[in-house]
Amino acid sequence: MNNIVAIVGRPNVGKSTFFNRLIKRREAIVDSVSGVTRDRNYGKSEWNGKEFSVIDTGGYIKGSDDVFEGEIRRQVELAIDEADAIIFVVDVEEGITPMDAEVAKLLRKVTKPILLAVNKVDNAMREKDAVEFYNLGLGEYFTIASISGSGTGELLDKLVEVLPELPEVTEEELALPRFCVVGRPNAGKSSFINALIGEDRFVVTDIAGTTRDAIDTKYNRFGFEFNLVDTAGIRRKAKVKEDLEFYSVMRSVRAIEHSDVCVLLIDATRGFEGQDQSIFWLAEKNRKGVVILVNKWDLVEKDTMSTRDYENKIKEELKPFTDVPILFVSALTKQRLLKALETTVQVFENRKQRIQTSKFNDYMLKLIEAYPPPALKGKYVKIKYCMQLPTPTPQFVFFANLPQYVQEAYKRFLENKIRENWDFSGVPIDIYIREK
């Protein structure tokens, strides 16, 4: 699990450029995953060996300069509640604006680490202009130019120094599968969890969670045993407006990073909305198992085709990762809750399965021989050997003479064939092509 760092500030000060610089530094090390660009507001970064999650609050504000001050204020308040450290970005060209002063006023009351980044400082003159930002009352500042990257190193050195130490996860916690229930506000997460836990509260032991504001409820009924990561999203804070997209995503980050399988609850009466998609891609990007539950199904007018139509609609939005279980449930009438549990446990098993190398080669190499990668620029790619990597989530490597000529479409073909032969339903898979 990682610390969460939120980037705040008014629009057009260069937050997104700075955010992209942070996560690119990380993505340069890791193979870029298809679908990663779907959610431009969340990513992982690493500096001096310390990994942390970054959230760009700016990406969630719809509209530009005419944005309501209230919207920015709400986002800053939420970042203060949820993040472990905050980077406040201001713009040297414009100096201190009333909105900056407003944000600084909120941040001065906070005990968490706050780093002030004065952006667009790309020459000595501007270095002098930056002095006025002392007036914000946030202490020392860092001058950066997020486009060229100058100054970001010093800022990040300080950031990793002030990030709080996270508690170690105990052996006992690691032993049990960890499932989290996520979704937008009012999708019925609380009712779903209460329906699972039922009134027999004595079956449940509350272990104080290793995450602030998330409680691990140990669940054992109907022959299942796992930790339910109950997130702060369930105990809503009144001051946060319900319609804030940023809210459900930020609340979900901690829970998702902390779990093995995410149960994404969507409201059948509203459909699969942008916010649900953001949470889905957040789980996918973190390589977690996913089960989608369409809740409040008892409230939907049905005809003979409705579940299939509904399912196809969702899968259309999920492309290319469509091998995900979708169940239609009702927390109110307890319809299919047991099936939802069984499916979640199955996805957990799928995620940790290991395929014997000899069996994997027997099946895949025959297939590759029949359908080799298409030749590119007259070069023929030969794949001679493949295996599953010993990683916590399913990753497969194929050794080829010319890995650079293997296209994304062929990797997807390989993934689809693996899914046809082995059950990886609900689990993201990584395919790597390496030189033999």
For residue 228, what are the CA distances in angstroms to 208, 222, 261, 286, 329?
12, 15, 10, 18, 18
Report whether 267 belongs to an annotated binding site: no
Burial of 433 (0-12, 13-18, 19+ CB in 10 A): buried
Largest CA distance in the chain: 71
CB-based contacts of 238: which residues, under 8 Å, 6+ apart?
A: none
Report whether 63 belongs to an annotated binding site: no
Q: In the sheet that 430-435 helps form, which strands lie side by side, from edge to edge?
A: 383-388, 395-400, 430-435
Report whether 232 belongs to an annotated binding site: yes
- C-beta separation of 291 from 188 below 8 A: no
Q: How far apart are CA 16 and CA 9, in angstroms?
A: 10
Report whether 9 belongs to an annotated binding site: yes
Report whether 198 belongs to an annotated binding site: no
Q: Which residue has the tokens 């970054």?
A: 54
Report whether 379 belongs to an annotated binding site: no
DSSP-assigned letter for residue 390: S
Tell me the two tokens of residue 413.
């073909």
Report whether 227 belongs to an annotated binding site: no
Report whether 187 belongs to an annotated binding site: yes
Report whether 119 belongs to an annotated binding site: yes
DSSP-assigned letter for residue 222: T
Report whether 233 belongs to an annotated binding site: yes
Report whether 289 belongs to an annotated binding site: no
Report whether 81 belongs to an annotated binding site: no
Report whether 288 belongs to an annotated binding site: no
Report whether 50 belongs to an annotated binding site: no
Report whether 436 belongs to an annotated binding site: no
Report whether 214 belongs to an annotated binding site: no
Report whether 297 belongs to an annotated binding site: yes
Report whether 15 belongs to an annotated binding site: yes
Report whether 129 belongs to an annotated binding site: no
Report whether 91 belongs to an annotated binding site: no
Report whether 425 belongs to an annotated binding site: no
Closest CA to 341 of 293, 297, 284: 293
Report whether 185 belongs to an annotated binding site: yes
Q: How far apart are CA 286 and CA 121, in angstroms?
A: 34
Report whether 184 belongs to an annotated binding site: yes
Q: Which residue has the tokens 């680490």?
A: 113
Sequence-distant contacts of 28-31: CB under 8 A, at least 24 apart: 31/430, 31/432
Report whether 89 belongs to an annotated binding site: no
Report whether 16 belongs to an annotated binding site: yes
Collapsed DSSP state (helix, strand, coil) of residue 269: coil
- C-beta separation of 425 from 324 below 8 A: yes
Closest CA to 84 of 50, 133, 35, 134: 50
Task: Report CA torsion sign: 383, 388, 392, 394.
Answer: positive
Report whether 80 belongs to an annotated binding site: no
Report whether 240 belongs to an annotated binding site: no
Tell me the two tokens of residue 275.
């916010």
- Concatenate the DSSP letters of all residues of 75-134 into one string: HHHHHHHH-SEEEEEEETTT---HHHHHHHHHHHT--S-EEEEEE---SHHHHHHGGGGG
Report whether 234 belongs to an annotated binding site: yes
Report whether 57 belongs to an annotated binding site: yes
Report whether 421 belongs to an annotated binding site: no
* Known binding positions: 9-16, 56-60, 119-122, 183-190, 230-234, 295-298
* Known binding positions for GTP: 9-16, 56-60, 119-122, 183-190, 230-234, 295-298
